[in-house]
Every structure is written in structure tokens, then in C-alpha cells.
Structure 1
Amino acid sequence: MRAFSQLLDSLVYTRSRNAKLKLIADYLRATPDPDRGWAMAALTGDLDIPAVKSAAIRALVEERVDPVLFRMSRDYVGDTAETVALLWPAPAGEPAEIDDGSLGLAAVIERLRSLNRVEGPRAIAGMLDHLDSSGRYALLKLATGGLRVGVSARLAKTALANGFGLDVDAVEEIWHGIDPPYAALFAWAEGRGEQPTPADVPVFRPFMLAHPLEDAIVDMADYVAEWKWDGIRVQIVRTAGQTRLYSRAGDDITGSFPDVAAAVRHDGALDGELLVKGAHQGGTLEDGGGAASFNALQQRLGRKLVSAKMQADYPAFVRVYDILLDGTEDVRALPWTERRARLEAFAGALDPDRFDLSAVIDAADFTALEEIRATSRDAAIEGVMLKRRDSPYVGGRRAGMWYKWKRDPLSCDCVMMYAQRGSGKRSSFYSDYTFGCWTEEGELLPVGKAYSGFTDEELKWLDKFVRTNTTGRFGPVREVEKTLVLEVAFDSIHESKRHKSGLAMRFPRISRIRRDKPAAEADRIDTLRRMIG
């Protein structure tokens, strides 16, 4: 456990991507099986310990520490695991860490995975008694699934590949066909075994990604244009009677969309956008419904069980735009034009109630495309994709192959209402801001929350404003004087029953601090409502 906790400490305080890659690679080379496999599962989000929840951890620490002290400390630190790790009082006379193997990483994980929700918290308490603060932090992060140390799943897999001289895309392709602690993967990495080839398993393939277009102008003789849909990117893979849906990060989301998975009848692998049906433009399904806003899709995201009512109220479908496997044939090396012909033929056999084909935009030249893009603000369209006609399908971003040309953001002037500390490196700053707009009756209602778009210097200024203008406290949240105007940029805005204002922004970020503007002159709710769609 000590080596893993030291790795986490080092990752938390390291900003450089290359330094993080080296830290993980060095750990994986130096650590034996199965500890390193469980560490990779934790870093990539493949570790699930259902017996321990954050609420149970808070209840445990409040039995041993003054609850008021804990809550005040949690408010200051900004992270429950770190607060508990620092405050936890070890029993008098107990060693800081016992050395009988019971607190090794694999032993800890196997123990936690064997417990139910009644046994889990008490087992955690016993382990916390025998760990130092670094070990306690690592244990709590493992147990609650909150391992946020600035490492994405892709970065962890890249580190593994770098550490053993493997191709990261090859690692990615076999990842979902093997289970933690990945003994076969490390045997291959060290030359002790063959490369795993999960036969008859619908595994994930790395997505092809796009560069922002920025100020470039492309020749439409070399590129084709499609709409960039505002859903979530998915890969649909069917092999040997099994179907899986993968998110862009490679997460298996089949359980959230069983209706889509059940509609696939033919072997292959498709790339597309997962959407929810609605009465909007932007392409039609055979039943006459187009794509609804992202807000509708959010109702189903992250749900492990989806009721029949939820499926009926928010019917999901996939707008496909590329093909990776045609039956059992890997067609990724073919140029886009040939893959498109294959896709059109494949799509003809798909269930029209759950799948349709993303249309190619008819634009004679780049100027014509620019005009088409400027006039479209459908709720389900984020912008335009440009794909080189001769491009193969390759994982990651390749220069000159695919471009994304997002529509220009909307903006409005809002008033800061509440602030909360950030996490990680921002745990000492009030960096998360809730802002609102005015009703016609003069009431300020929240319309969004943002924690990006400002510089480090602006963050320091905003943090100082919050601290000197606090009017109320609600746990970790501070209410502030309604005097500061923030210009907020956002991609789109939609109706939402979950918010008092009835509105929800998509991707809001702070674009400017309007110290010059009186709060009374900020925008009205009705102004935002007119931006819907």
C-alpha cells in the first residue's frame, strides 16, 4: 500500500504530463503482480467497490472527531478523503502501519470487494487505524472511487505502453477483453506471454479525433463536411452475439442504453453520436423525430438501470458516421470515401427506429459551407466536422485528417450569486461560481455554474471578491453580494425542470469579468429564453 500511496502523492503534486507518465511507468515496472494490475484498474476507473460510500466515511470520522471540527476542516481542505486522512486519530500504541501483508494493495482491494455495505465501513476503520496519513488518503480514494489525481485512463494506458515498449493503441484494443488485475497483459508486456487476443469479445477501438479548425481554410475538393452533433460519441461493437456501447473514454455504457444495444443484429463496429429523439431539425428518423437537446440525453446518462418509462420518455438512437469493422473485416485502413460506401450499405440493414445515417453537407466550396454553418443553431448541432476524403480511420488526433469547426458561442451578462472551493490544486480558492439573471419582477435566479475561462490572476481576484463580499454560508457554499457581473459564454441553452429558472446552459465558462457594469444591467431570464433552440 505504501508504494501506491507514494505514487498518488507524487501524481497530485506533479503538473507535467511527461513527468506523470514516467512516475506511473516506473511504478508499474517496479511493482509485482497483482498490485500493479489493481493500481492500473484504480487509475483507469475499472475498479468498483460498492460496499463503501462517502456518507459512510463521514459517519465514521464523526464518531471519532468533533463533527463541527470535521465539517469546518472539510470546508477548508475541499476534499473528504484528504480531510479524513489528516484528522483520523490512530489508537494509542498502535503501529503506524503493520507489515503482515494485510495492507498490501491487492489484499486491501480483495478484502473490500468481498464485503457488503454493513461490513465495509468497519473494515475501512480498522485499516485506517494502521495506516499513516498518506496511506489513509490512498485507501479512501480507492474505496470511494474518487481517484482524481490528474490522470486520465488514456494517460495511464500510455504510461503502461511507454514503460514496456508497447503500442498504446494495441493496449487500448485489448483492454476491455481482459479483467483486472491484467496478469496476461503484464505477461505480454514483459515478454513472458503472447499478446492477449480476446476472441469473440466486442472490444473497444480507439476513436479517431479531430483538431480545432481555428483560422484554416480547407479545399472542399479534398474534404467532406458533416454536422457535429451535440450528443455523446459512442462506438457500437457486436461480435459473436454480444453487443457493447463504449463512450469516448472507452467506458462500457451498454447498461444505460439497453434499447440501443438490443437493436443491433449484425456483426461490426460503428462510430456515431448517441442522441435522444425530439421534435427538432437536424436530420430525421423514419418515425419523423429528429434529435432533442443534450439536456434530454442527460436524463439517461450514468444510470446503471433504466426503467421502461425512462426508455419511453427519452428514446435513444445513434446517428452513425463511420464504420470500423464491416462484419469481421477491419476497414479502418480504407479511405473515408470507401468507408462511407460501406457504412451506407451497413446502415441500410440497421433498425431505423434506433439508427440513422449522418448526412453529408452539400457545400460547393468553403465559403458556402461557412454560410451554412453560420445560419444553423439547431439544439442538437454543435458545429461542423471536416474529414479528408482519403483519410484512414486512425486512433487519436492526426494533423490534417479531421477538423472540428464549432459554432460561435452564445454569451450573456450574469450576476455572481454563490461560490464554492474547487478541488485538487484549487482547493484553497473559491473557483466554482453560480450565477444568475433577473426575472421581470426583479428576482435573481440561477442559470448556470462555471469554473473555467479565467486566468490565474483573475482567479486570485475572484477569490478575494468572494471572501470580502460573503453574506451567508451554507456548508461549503458562500453566498456573495449580488454586485459582480460576469460575462458568460456557452454553447447552447435549454429548458430544464431541475432548475428554478427553468433553464440550463451547455458548457458555460467565464469569458470576462465585467467590473464596469452595474448588476442591475445584467441580462434577463426572458433574454436567455429567446436563445433556446
Structure 2
Amino acid sequence: MTSFREFAETCQAIEKISSTIETTNKVSELLRKVDAEELPLATHFIMSEVFPAWSGEQLGIGTSLLYAALSRASGMSIKSIEALIRTTGDIGDAALLVLKEKRKNQATFSSFMEEEPELSITEVYQRFKTASEATGKGSQDVKIKNLQFLFNSSSPREAKYISRLALEELRIGVGEGVVRDAIAKAFSVPADVVEHAFMVTNDLGIVAEAAKKGGLEALETLGIEINRPIKMMLSQISPDIDSDIRDMKEAAVEWKFDGARVQIHKDGNSVTLFSRKLENVTNSLPDLVEIVRKHVKAESAILDGEAVAVDEKGKPRAFQEILKRFRRKYDVEEKAAGIPIQLNLFDIMYLNGKTLIDLPLLERRKALESCVESSVEDSKSISVDEQVITGDLELVEKIYREALKAGHEGIMVKNPGSVYSPGKRGKNWLKKKPLMETLDLAVVGAEWGFGRRANLIGSYTVACYDPETSRFLQIGKVGTGLTDEQLRELTGMLTGLMEGESGGVFAVRPEVVLEVAFEEIQKSPNYASGFALRFPRFIRVRNDKAPEEADSIQRIERVYAQQLKRL
């Protein structure tokens, strides 16, 4: 087994590096050292994950539990630890200082031993897993004891990264792109093959293990599996849809529904549903499960679609109504009757044992239509989204107006020859909406309100995402467009994510995504992104999006460049 010390040393070295190439080299060195059986664990650890994102497993460790464990391990009071964190601004640095002080002032039995026992990567993982599985009465104590064991068994440097891992926030800027390239370098396999293996598995841990054990041949055998969700292909707003259609010559045009994305896995009579964030939402949507069982005539399939909440006349309800269904844990049947769902399918990635993502859109479309059966009456509950192939701009405009009249968001314009690219956003899927320009941004900071709103968070610092460094870059503050009810909801959501409060202002762990409208993007030295939003306004909470799905700095740059062209 590989010692956790090796992992901690790699993290420490990366923190001092600014070059992506050097970071990739360091990660590559680590992957080569780690035993094959531990490679999936180390791969996820270096990306600030304990469990694969698709697995649905949650650590369930908050800052209060972490502080309590650190207090027990060090003998320092929780209040003193909190004060130290406010000073350092980081739980990892605080843990390092706390345990350094303990080692300095306390003679332990281990100091008389020739060599202290080393934690392995596997042991750290197993302690985290035991903590994550603790439920019910006494579960908090179980979590604290397992964290305390890790702190007591680790060096101060190891404790720094254990505490950050417990919150799944290493802060070393290693994302999927770096790990993909590190796997390619470590095991001498092409980066594009690693990328494709990742696309079909959605798990770089699996990819790294396969590359180490069997190289190129092993990677090429990896494929999609039922009940292991893959990332969903993404779209982007087109600043000039007519120009984009001319470039395509012909486009596949579909309505864009104002619903919640859902990935459906069918295996015989078993149906599993995953949200856009790849959370398992099957138990919340029993009516959708029955719809799929009844109308999808395939032994096994993975489908992509949009679940839309509808009223008694079949008209779409507000986006927030469908989210109420996705989040429901109790009185599910009652809620299903009150908020019925219509399922609109528009793509298929897997059918009866065959992976389809490398086929052109039009061929996938034929496969989708072949396995979905529904009559005109059934279309109230399930349908394959109507698609028109055309280069006629007037017809595209007509379809767009029809979609808006029916109460939907607008249209999707797709390249008919495009493959399905999990997790990728590009010009193969474009959307046109009538709204002023909006961005999906992660909340990374906030401050308390004033007057009658003094007990509510009144302003939110938002950030775009840099996939190259896995960092969130601030781009502005949002404080308008929110009702008191929305402020209360957001305050509740962010309370457990606060870090380092000072003068009513505090940092927030990036877990909540907001859709923000704005008038213009401007250059600004005041924010890490280099940009600022002019007249930002809150639109809605995007509970269906993970923070890493926030709009990227690259998209900000494109929108800014497009603005300049209009001047």
C-alpha cells in the first residue's frame, strides 16, 4: 500500500507551482508511484473527491464536525480553532498549526518508537467511508471519532490535506484536464484515448487503473455501463444563431423546454433516474419511472431528456415547480399528483448493449425513435422532441416563436452530424432564448443585510469557473432581484457553507449556483476573473447544476469579445 505521506508531499509541492505543465508532471509522478489497487482512490483524492461524482455517495462532514474532531485530537478548544481559521482563512493551514503545536508541547508514546506507523491512502479512504456510512443516533460521534483517528495518526502536514479532503476542497488547482494529461504521461498512452475512456466511464479513477494495468488496449475496452451515469452534453447560448446555422448549412432544430434535465438508465424492468448533477432521483419520481417502463421498449438503454412540470391543461409550469419534485423525499405520491410531469426525450447514448455516443446525432435520433412508443394520448406524459432539419432561417424563426407561444424557453439548434460529447460545451449544441444575457455563477462569498434584513444574507459574491485550474474566479456581486422569501431560502442554503467571517462579510464554499442576468460585461482589475458584471440581477437558483457547471472564464471572454463586435 502507498503511504498518505506521498500524497501530502505531492499536494504541498503543487501548491508552490504556478505552471500547469509542472503540476501535470507532479500528478503524473504520484500516479506512477501509487499501487494499482489504490490508484482510483488517489486519482479522486487529487481532484478533491473522496468518492466518484457519479456514485451518489456523500461524506456528510461539515465544518462543525471537523472542528470537533480537530479539538479532540489536539486538546485545543473549538473556539480557539475557529479563531485560528479566521486568521489563516483555511482549515488545512489551521490543522497544520494546531497539530504542530500539540507535537511541540506534548511528549507522546510514538516519540519513543524508532519509527511512527504511516497512514496509507487506503486507510484514509476507509475512515472517510466509515464516517460517510454512519447514520441515525450516534452517527455524529462516529464521524468525529474516525476523523480524530486520522488526525492522531497523521503528521501535521498530512493533517492539513486530510482536513481539506474532509470538505472535498484541496485548493491545489488540479482538475480533470490536468489528471487526464497526467494519466497519459504516467502510462505512455495517448491523451485523446484517455479522454474518450473518461467520457464513457465518467471516472478518471477507473481510467487510471486501466492505463496502469493494461495500457492502450485496456483503455480501449472501457465503455458505458448501465447505472453509472455519464456527464451530459452541454449547450451554449449563441450570440448570432443565423450565422451559426449558415456555418452548419443545415441544422437540427428542437424546442428548448423549461424543465429539469434527466438521464434515464433502463435495465430490463429496472429504471434509475439521474439529475443534471448526476444525483440519483429515482425515489422522488415514481411516476416518471412508470412512464419509462411503459413506453421505452428496450432491454437496456440510457436516454437524455427534459422533465417538465405541467398544469391540468398540459401547459408548462415554472422551472421551480419541477425542482420541487426532484428534491422531494416525503409525501412523494401526493406531490406527483399535484405536480404531474411530462417527459421530453431528445437523445440516446446506449441501446441494448451498444454505446452510441460516437454516432452522428441523426443516427442516434433514429435509434431513439425506434425504442420509444407513444400515441397522441400518451404524448401528454412522454414524447420524442420534434426535430426539424433545415437551413431556412425564416423557418427557424417560426419554430422559435411557436416554442415561446407554447410557454417554453426557446429553441435548440444542433449540428446533425455531431457526436454526443459528455460534459462538453461547444458549438454543436446551441440555444436561443429571448431573455437578456444570463450567466450561471457559483456563490463564493456573501454579506449580511441591513435594517429589517439584518438577519438575512443580502449580497452574494459570484464567480465563474476556470476548468484549467479548477478555481472559481470572482466576477461581481448580486443583491437585486431577490424577494424576502428568496433571501430566506438562500440564507438557509448558505449558512452551513460560511467560512472566515469578518465584519459581516464571509467566504462561502462554492456549492450553490445562481442564474444572473446582466446588461454588460466590463473589464475590471477588482475581480480575479478580470471582468465585472454591469447591473447584475438575480434570476433564480440553479439547484440542478453543480458548481463546476458554472459558466467558464472562457465563455465570459467570448461574450465580452462579442460585445466589442457590436460596438
Flag whether TM exceeds 0.5 (same fold). Answer: yes
SS for the counterpart of 1:237 is strand
Instruction: Return the offset for 1:321.
Output: 0.7
1:93 aligns with 2:107: yes
Give 1:297's aligned amino acid: I
State yes or no: 1:273 paired with 2:301.
Answer: no
1:369 corresponds to which of 391, 396, 407: 396
SS in 2 for 1:243: strand
Please say if 1:142 is aligned against 2:168.
Answer: no
Cα pair distance change 1:428/1:391, threshold 3 Å? closer
Give the TM-score, by structure 1 length: 0.66
Contact kept? 2:410, 2:431, Cα under 8 Å = yes
2:525 maps to which of 457, 460, 482 = 457
In terms of mean alpha carbon deviation, does 448-457 or 126-135 score higher? 448-457
Q: 1:488 aligns with which of 498, 515, 536?
A: 536
Partner letter of residue 125 of structure 1?
Q
Give the corresponding residue for 2:479: 435
What SS does the aligned partner of 1:34 have?
Answer: helix
SS at match of 1:359: coil
With over 3 angstroms needed to count, the CA separation of the structure-2 counterparts of 1:262 and 1:101, relative to structure 1, is farther
Whether 1:318 and 2:346 are equivalent positions in the alignment is no
Identify the match of residue 194 of structure 2 among 160, 167, 188: 167
Aligned to 1:234: 262
Count residues in correspondence.
462
1:104 corresponds to: 120
Q: In structure 1, what is the Cα distance between the partners aligned to 2:408 and 2:18?
A: 34
Deviations 1:492-521 (A, max 9, x none): 459x9xxxxxxxxx99x9x9xxxxxxxxxx
Q: Are the aligned partners of 2:8 and 2:158 in contact in 1 as well (CA < 8 Å)?
A: yes
Q: Helix, strand or coil: the match of 1:169?
A: helix
Once residues 205 and 34 of structure 1 are traced to their aligned partners in structure 2, the CA distance between those partners, rounded to angstroms, is 23
> SS at 1:458's partner residue?
coil
Partner of 1:74: 85
Q: Counting helix residues as a fraction of each chain, which structure ranks higher?
A: 2
Residue matched to 1:32: 35
**1:156 CA drift (Å):** 3.9
Partner of 1:481: none
What's the secondary structure of 2:348's corresponding residue?
strand
Cα distance, 1:349 vs. partner? 5.0
SS in 1 for 2:535: strand
The change in CA–CA distance for 1:297 and 1:90 in structure 2 (over 3 A counts) is: farther
Amino acid at match of 2:102: A
**What is the one-letter code of the residue matched to 1:90?**
K
Deviation string 1:118-156 (CA, Å, 9 cap, x unpaired) is: 233133224323434431122123334445654455764
Equivalent-residue separation in structure 2 for 1:256 and 1:57 (angstroms): 31
Alignment of 1:343-492 (within 5 A): 343-348=368-373, 355-360=382-387, 365-367=392-394, 369-370=396-397, 373=400, 381-395=408-422, 397=424, 401-409=428-436, 417=449, 418=458, 433=477, 435-436=479-480, 446=487, 457-459=525-527, 487-489=535-537, 492=539
SS of 1:269's equivalent in the other structure is: strand
Q: Relative to 1, partners in 2 of residues 1:159 and 1:245: Cα closer, same or farther, differing over 3 Å?
A: farther
Report the CA distance shift for 1:416/1:107 in structure 2 as closer, same or farther (over 3 A).
Answer: closer
Q: Residues of 1 paired with 2:473 and 2:371: CA distance?
A: 52
Establish whether residue 295 from structure 1 lines up as the match of residue 320 from structure 2.
yes
Task: State how far apart, in whole Å, the 2-side matches of 1:148 and 1:241 are.
Answer: 43
Code of the residue aligned with 1:105 in structure 2: it is I
Match of 1:213 in 2: 238
Match of residue 9 from structure 2? 6
Distance, in Å, in 1 between the alignment partners of 2:142 and 2:336 is: 35
Aligned-pair CA distance for 1:445? 9.0
* Cα distance change on mapping 1:185 and 1:112 into 2, 3 Å: same
Q: What displacement does 1:218 show?
A: 1.6
Flag structure 2 segments of 5+ consecutive residues without an equivalent: 439-446, 450-457, 491-512, 544-549, 557-567
Distance in 1 separating the partners of 2:90 and 2:327: 23
Query: What is the CA–CA distance in structure 2 between the aligned matches of 1:368 and 1:357, rounded to whole Å?
Result: 20
Match of 2:431, SS state, is strand
The alignment's C-alpha RMSD in Å is 5.2
**Aligned counterpart, 1:475:** none
TM-score normalised to structure 2 length: 0.63
Q: Which runs of 5+ in 1 are unaligned?
A: 280-286, 463-484, 497-505, 512-533
- Say which SS state the counterpart of residue 536 (structure 2) adopts: strand
Equivalent residues of 1:98, 1:130 under 8 A apart? no
Structure 1 CA distance for aligned equivalents of residues 459 and 471 of structure 2: 12
Q: Distance in 2 between matches of 1:253 and 1:186?
A: 32
Map of 2:68 onto structure 1: 59
C-alpha distance in 1 between matches for 2:19 and 2:405? 39
